[in-house]
Structure 1
Amino acid sequence: MSRRRKFHLYLTIVTLSTGFLVATSFETNKLTRKERMNDQLFQQETQLNDRILAEKEQNRHLENQLLDLQRQVGKVEEAMAERKSEAADTLSQLDAARMLAGVVAVEGPGIVITMQDSQNAANSTDIANYIVHEQDVRLVVNELRAAGAEAISINGQRVVSNSEIRCIGPTIIVNGIKSAAPFVVTAIGNPDTLDSALNLPGGVLHSLQDFVQISIAKKERVELPAFVGDAKTKHS
């Protein structure tokens, strides 16, 4: 073999070896880059999963805090509702006490009783039997109270537990205020109940009808003024 042919043979071998080494190196680098990229993706995925787990744990913690706060708010709302209910009951009792004490003006359904001297008074030798006396008015007031009247007034004077009802001649004094017939007794309560109580057989109207004139009107709404006077003073 000539020297020239040997040179070409060696050159060919060297070229093929170099090409093989370059190709092998390229493939090796390619695999290395791919493995590196896969490793980065794995690390990123792992980090993302860790973040998701951390977020889930944080959300669970926040949900527990929210539930705890909701329970606390519920307890506060229950306590406030209870106090509000107690306050409403107290206010209702106070309003009822004020009405019974007569210290506030009130209105509501009720009846109006008008009591006048009998027309027979002018022709009678005993006029006193045919005029309205304080005991007649008091009899009506007591019957109304027994029937459940919530508030009562006589000629615009509010009647309370210690109200004075006195008779001087043809006039009646209520809470120190003098007035003459007709005497208008106004009461707040169930109109039917109050009317029935006054009209019972042998009751108030039956005992007075032969001596004085009495008329009763049921009303959907009547107004009574507040008591004016010294509530501490007891009159008989």
Structure 2
Amino acid sequence: MSRPHKFQFYLTIVTLCTGFLVATSVETTKLVQKERINDQLFQEETQLNDRILAEKEQNRHLENQLIDLQRQVSKIEEAMAARKSEAAAIFEQLEAARMLAGVVAVEGPGIVVSMQDSQHAASSPDISNYIVHEQDVRLVVNELRAAGAEAISINGQRLVSNSSIRCVGPTIIVNGIKSAAPFVITAIGDPATLESALHLPGGVIQSLQDFVQIEVTKQALVQLPAYVGDTKATHS
């Protein structure tokens, strides 16, 4: 082979080798870059997974805190409800006690009993048999109390535990206040029950109707004033 031909042959081989090396280098560079990208993506994915796990753990922790707070709030609400219930019960007891003590004006359904001297009083030789006495008024009051009357007044005077009812001539003194007939007894309670109690056979009405005038009317609403007087007054 002549020298020119050898030179061309060697040049061709060198060119081929150089091209192969360049191509190999390029592919290698691509593979390295790809591996770096894959490594970076893997690291980023790992970091993202770690963050997701951390966020999940944080969320779980917050959920547990929320549940604990909800339980605490529930216990506080239950305690407050119990206290409100107790306060309401105490208030009801207080109102009932105030009503029984007569220190507040009250109203409600009830009856009105009117008592006055008999028409026969003027013509009777014994007038005292036909006028209203304190024991007659007490008889009505006691029957009303026994029938469940919640509050009672006589001629606008509220009866309480230490109220006094006294007779002075043709007048009656209640809580130290004198008044004459007719004597109006007002009671709060179930109207039907109170009326029935007074009309029992052999009861108040039958005992008094031959001697004094007595009328009973049921009312949908009656009003009783508060007690005004000396709380240290004694029974009589």
Give matches, 1:63-212, under 5 Å: 63-212=63-212
- Structure 1 residue runs of 5 or longer lacking an equivalent are none
Supply the RMSD in Å over aligned alpha carbons. 0.8
SS in 2 for 1:218: strand
Give matches, 1:48-59, under 5 Å: 48-59=48-59
**Aligned residues between the structures:** 236
**How does the TM-score come out when normalised to structure 1?**
0.98
C-alpha offsets along residues 91-122 of structure 1, whole Å, 9 cap, x if unaligned?
11110000000000001111000111111112
C-alpha offsets along residues 26-82 of structure 1, whole Å, 9 cap, x if unaligned?
111111111111111111111111111111111111111111111111111111111
Tell me the distance in 2 between the aligned counterparts of 1:108 and 1:231.
25
Residue matched to 1:214 = 214
CA contact (8 A) 2:107 2:188 kept: yes
Tell me the distance in 2 between the aligned counterparts of 1:210 and 1:94.
43
SS in 2 for 1:235: coil
SS in 2 for 1:53: helix
**How does the TM-score come out when normalised to structure 2?**
0.98
By how many angstroms is 1:233 displaced?
2.2
- Are 1:21 and 2:21 matched, yes or no? yes
Residue matched to 1:42 = 42
By how many angstroms is 1:6 displaced?
1.4
The percentage of counterpart residues that share the same residue type is 80
Q: Write the letter of the residue equivalent to 2:172.
A: I
- Structure 2 residue runs of 5 or longer lacking an equivalent are none
